[in-house]
Structure 1
């Protein structure tokens, strides 16, 4: 693995959920001009971004994640709000979040602790679970948050999905989709 490789742990989304989000994004694109829309195969909820990683640390984190998740059960999430990160008039990230689910925060804490225990220095900002849909506003006029309420397809047609695994991904910036599954950690049946 090259030194430029970046890794992260994430909740993967079921294929049918990714396809439904892709369908909704094809409609959103008409009204929300962002420069780059995320390939539907790359949709996920990041739990811990590792950056570049030494093989031994990566192996140690995988062993700890596997051990920590052994008794964790699958659970359901439902998409909720659309939002943005960055400047209010020209956001850099457009995302969808989920209704708050304590099991997601528990899973994140297990993964986060496993990674710090393996020696990774992780970002310490509060966990804000989200699915990045697009990047970099390119509209002719400033972005307004009212656009999010006007164009939120998940308010009228709630989209629920089952979280049944955590995945370790490797990033390939020169490919599309750009995230490669390196390891999977299944959760027990609900």
Structure 2
């Protein structure tokens, strides 16, 4: 029996940025041993994790998000460093950091509120925008924080990209890549 799929709202990373990140991930794998690396096509910034969802509640969340994102504009983000969650000597999550800018915070708050309004019980930890790259440290010794400095060798300047879509992803654990876009909410592009 297949487990029920999970759903989440996320900011989509553009394809060209994912391809740059793919190259960086290949280099990072050589230097920093983690058990599971994220497929480059699965890179994203989570805005609200819903877990398994009844279709009616998911539909309501999507309706709410569509309404609140109606006039939201696309914006630029910059990936500027590496970080981790978990114990300093044995991190459980390894990620790339995006600068915490006002536009991103507002989008996250609106999506989060829209999902709560639809009846979802969401994570209450403070929002830390990030792009998960790998999970579960498996190095021979303790993780060394100076390993995080490799980012500046790979990407001397922050990696800038345009955040143009909020997406509902469905998790398919039996596939690679495992995150399937279900619904896409385009953000308004600035006229040239």
TM bucket, shorter chain: over 0.9
Residue 4 of structure 2 is aligned to residue 4 of structure 1: yes
In 1, the alpha carbon distance for the partners of 2:154 and 2:67 equals 35
CA deviation digits over 1:124-172, x for unaligned, max 9? 1100000000111111111011110244446513210000010000001
Partner Cα separation in structure 1 for residue 170 and residue 152 of structure 2: 30
Partner of 2:107: 107
The number of equivalent residue pairs is 189
Q: Structure 2: 5+ residue runs without aligned partners? A: none
Aligned to 1:16: 16
Note if contact 2:170-2:179 (Cα within 8 Å) is conserved in structure 1.
yes
**TM score, norm. by length of structure 2:** 0.95
**Could you say which residue in structure 1 is the equivalent of 2:131?**
131
Structure 1 gaps of 5+ residues are none
Question: Equivalent residue for 1:116?
Answer: 116
Distance change >3 Å, CA 138–CA 77, structure 1 → 2:
same
DSSP-derived class of the 1:19 partner: helix
SS at match of 2:26: helix
Pick which of 83-92 and 143-152 moved more: 143-152
* Per-residue deviation, residues 47-97 of structure 1 (Å, max 9, x unmatched): 000001011100000000000000100000001120011111111100011
Runs of 4+ in 1 over 6 A off after TM superposition: none
Equivalent residues of 2:81, 2:151 under 8 A apart: no
In structure 2, the partner of 1:187 is 187
Supply the RMSD in Å over aligned alpha carbons.
1.3
TM-score (norm 1): 0.96
Q: Could you say what secondary structure the match of 2:27 adopts?
A: helix
CA contact under 8 A between 1:82 and 1:95: conserved in structure 2?
Answer: yes
Q: Is the 8 A contact 1:116 1:122 kept in 2?
A: yes
State the SS of the aligned residue for 2:175: coil
Q: Which residue of 2 aligns with 1:145?
A: 145
1:156 partner SS:
coil
- Between the aligned partners of 1:151 and 1:97, the Cα distance in structure 2 is 10
Deviation at residue 107 of structure 1 after TM alignment = 0.3
Distance change in 2, residues 1:26/1:155 (3 Å): closer
